[in-house]
């Protein structure tokens, strides 16, 4: 049952436009998730993670992110990818519910705390537990295929699915995201699931920078850490 249902959901997601699909065992992350989003999340033992790749031609221009045409094009792409991910999450959820299981879609972009820049459930955490990639020094989900140039949504569920295994961190000695950040928001520490995000990331610094951009050019998004990762910039890809 689980395998054929898993395959059916993956096919549905890919036909709707997903580039990445995986299922995660959430048991090891329940304490962290409940602390962030609420105790009710414990009733979901698994999650589906879906990802859509961003367009390289748009991301490659982000070093000029002070220019309105560049950053507004990134915003438009960001919004349309988020919207499609939310649609795929909804369609998967409807199918799962019809099968008699719980489905709780987590949208691609839902911030519940703007100081900490966190949502109900971390889509990146679900994707990493599903084995789609690892959490980089940038705190972004980095995949071998697309680097951090993808966005994610999640469906929490109790449906029987074929869960993946988390991938080892492959950042190595790279520090490109650490060095390019204009406000030095990353410490350069390698991801460790037992440490709080503050060990790696000063969300306050990033948030203040975004607010300043909103005032100056009318757009918060920055994207330099998405742009620079060698795993996304194919020409410099490290294996
Ligand atoms: S989005 Fe920009 S300011 Fe924020 S962490 Fe990434 S590079 Fe730094
Ligand atoms: S830029 Fe380098 S250190 Fe940062 S996430 Fe990518 S591989 Fe890891």
Q: What is the mean pLDDT of the chain?
A: 92
In the three-class reduction of DSSP (H, G, I as helix; E, B as strand; rest coil), residue 90 is classed as helix
How far is the C-alpha of 72 from the C-alpha of 95, rounded, in Å?
35
Long-range contacts of 7-10 (CB under 8 A, 24+ apart): 8/95, 9/48, 9/92, 9/95, 9/96, 9/161
74 alpha carbon, closest ligand: 1
For ligand 1, the distance from its centroid to the CA atom of residue 175, given in whole angstroms, is 14
For atom 1 of ligand 2, the residue with the nearest CA is 229
Q: Residue holding tokens 């100056």? A: 216
Residues within 6 Å of ligand 2 by CB: 136-138, 142, 171, 174-177, 228-231
For atom 4 of ligand 1, the residue with the nearest CA is 206
The reported pLDDT for the residue numbered 192 is: 83
Question: Per residue in 158-205, pLDDT tens?
Answer: 999 999 999 999 999 999 999 999 999 999 999 887 788 889 999 999
In the chain, domain spans: 2-234
The reported pLDDT for the residue numbered 239 is: 42
Longest pairwise C-alpha distance within the chain: 54
* Range in 32-36, 85-89, 146-150 with the lowest mean pLDDT: 32-36
Q: Which of 160, 122, 145 is nearest to 229 (CA)?
A: 145
Token pair belonging to 224: 């330099």
148 alpha carbon, closest ligand: 2
pTM of the entire structure? 0.92
């Amino acid at each position: 049952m689980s395998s054929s249902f898993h395959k059916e959901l993956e096919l549905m997601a890919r036909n709707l436009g997903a580039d990445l699909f995986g299922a995660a065992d959430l048991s090891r992350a329940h304490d962290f998730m409940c602390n962030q989003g609420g105790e009710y999340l414990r009733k979901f033992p698994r999650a589906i993670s879906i990802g859509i790749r961003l367009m390289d031609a748009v991301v490659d221009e982000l070093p000029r992110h002070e220019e309105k045409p560049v950053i507004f094009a990134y915003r438009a792409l960001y919004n349309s990818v988020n919207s499609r991910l939310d649609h795929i999450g909804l369609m998967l959820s409807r199918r799962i519910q019809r099968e008699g299981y719980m489905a709780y879609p987590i949208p691609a972009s839902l911030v519940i705390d703007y100081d900490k820049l966190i949502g109900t459930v971390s889509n990146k955490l679900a994707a990493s537990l599903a084995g789609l990639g690892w959490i980089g020094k940038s705190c972004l989900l980095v995949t071998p295929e697309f680097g951090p140039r993808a966005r994610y949504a999640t469906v929490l569920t109790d449906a029987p699915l074929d869960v993946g295994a988390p991938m080892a961190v492959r950042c190595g000695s790279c520090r490109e995201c650490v060095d390019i950040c204009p406000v030095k928001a990353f410490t350069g520490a390698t991801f460790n699931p037992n440490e709080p995000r503050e060990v790696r990331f000063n969300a306050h610094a990033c948030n203040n920078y975004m607010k300043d951009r909103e005032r100056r050019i009318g757009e918060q998004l920055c994207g330099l850490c998405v742009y620079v990762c060698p795993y996304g910039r194919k020409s410099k890809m490290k294996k």
